[in-house]
Amino acid sequence: MRLASFYLLGRSTYGLVLEDGVVDLAHRLDPAPPTLRAAIAAGALAGVRAFAASKPDATLADVTFDLPIPDPAKILCIGRNYKAHVAEGNMKLPEQPSVFLRTIESFVPHGGALVRPRLSEKFDYEGELAVVVGKPGRHIARDRALGHVFGYTCLNDGSVRDYQFTHSLIVGKNFFHSGSIGPCIVTADEIPDPAALTLRTRLNGTEVQHTQTDDLIFDIPTIISYVSGFLPLDAGDIIATGTPEGVGFARKPPLWMKAGDTIEVEVSGIGTLRNSVVDE
């Protein structure tokens, strides 16, 4: 099933996303947890698939998407995790996952505007598959890791490259509204093998990234096991798994996002994350 957080009639809510509309779970569940993250943590979504057969509460045109999890405790990102991406950047294959953190303020939802900062013109795209944690845990064994996944979504790890390379990774990855997540979370039962997906990124309709997720250096079970070794994972945490080859900084000449552009990240079986670009 597909779940999302969104605004409906001026209020923040969450629900099922159907082909012809949405089911507002905050009105259907009793008691209704206040957010999608709280609903995941409480195990309150076990029976909501049945609502998919009911009449939608609103059309898709009536809602404005929010971030799928508007209030995650953590957003963790894995860098240098596709073999071809490491090669295009003339980098060395990592011996362990390279982890960094992003703030919630650095992201916008599906349909929102990415902001190219006034401090730089080197604004790059990074299409990624992201994991949403469903079951908390610490020191999770690799062979049990997928049991901790609630679902998957699309993510654009928008990066300000000159600040990333000459200031720090944290600065370059955390400019205000430089990345995006969404539109929906597709539950893990509909993605039996996250290593068998196709990821595409399009800039103004032209495909700039195209890969199979089996090119990951560290697969999702390995990432979950590694991350849970140094901190506990909580329900609603988001883990971005890395970007493939085709990024703007590695092209000759470089290809940067600019005001007026449209950037799309599509993952098979999950959907398409679409955003415009504006100047700060």
**Cβ(195)–Cβ(220) below 8 Å:** yes
The one-letter code for the residue type at 272 is T
| β-strand pairing of 11-18 with 75-79 | unpaired
Q: Which of 25, 45, 65 is the last residue of a domain?
A: 65
Do 25 and 80 lie in one domain? The reply is no
State residue 166's pLDDT score. Answer: 96
Residues with Cβ < 8 Å from 257, sequence gap 6 or more?
Answer: 114, 116, 123, 124, 125, 158, 203, 248, 263, 277
**Cβ(84)–Cβ(43) below 8 Å:** no
State residue 94's pLDDT score. Answer: 87
Q: Quick check: is 271 in a domain?
A: yes
Q: Quick check: is 144 in a domain?
A: yes
State residue 152's pLDDT score. Answer: 98
Q: Which residues pair with 14 in a beta bridge?
A: 5
Do 146 and 191 lie in one domain? The reply is yes
Do 17 and 100 lie in one domain? The reply is no
The tens place of each residue's pLDDT in the chain, 280 residues long, gives 999 999 999 999 999 999 999 999 999 999 999 999 999 999 999 999 999 999 999 999 999 999 999 999 999 999 999 988 888 877 788 899 999 999 999 999 999 999 999 999 999 999 999 999 999 999 999 999 999 999 999 999 999 999 999 999 999 999 999 999 999 999 999 999 999 999 999 999 999 999 999 999 999 999 999 999 999 999 999 999 999 999 999 999 999 999 999 999 999 999 999 999 999 9
Q: Quick check: is 70 in a domain?
A: no
Q: Which residues pair with 234 in a beta bridge?
A: none
> Residue 119 has what DSSP assignment?
T
Do 86 and 6 lie in one domain? The reply is no
In the chain, how many domains are there? 2
CATH number at residue 275: 3.90.850.10
Q: Quick check: is 21 in a domain?
A: yes
- pTM strictly above 0.85: yes
Do 130 and 195 lie in one domain? The reply is yes
The one-letter code for the residue type at 273 is L
> Residue 169 has what DSSP assignment?
H
Do 149 and 265 lie in one domain? The reply is yes
Instruction: Find the domain containing 96 and state its range.
Output: 75-279
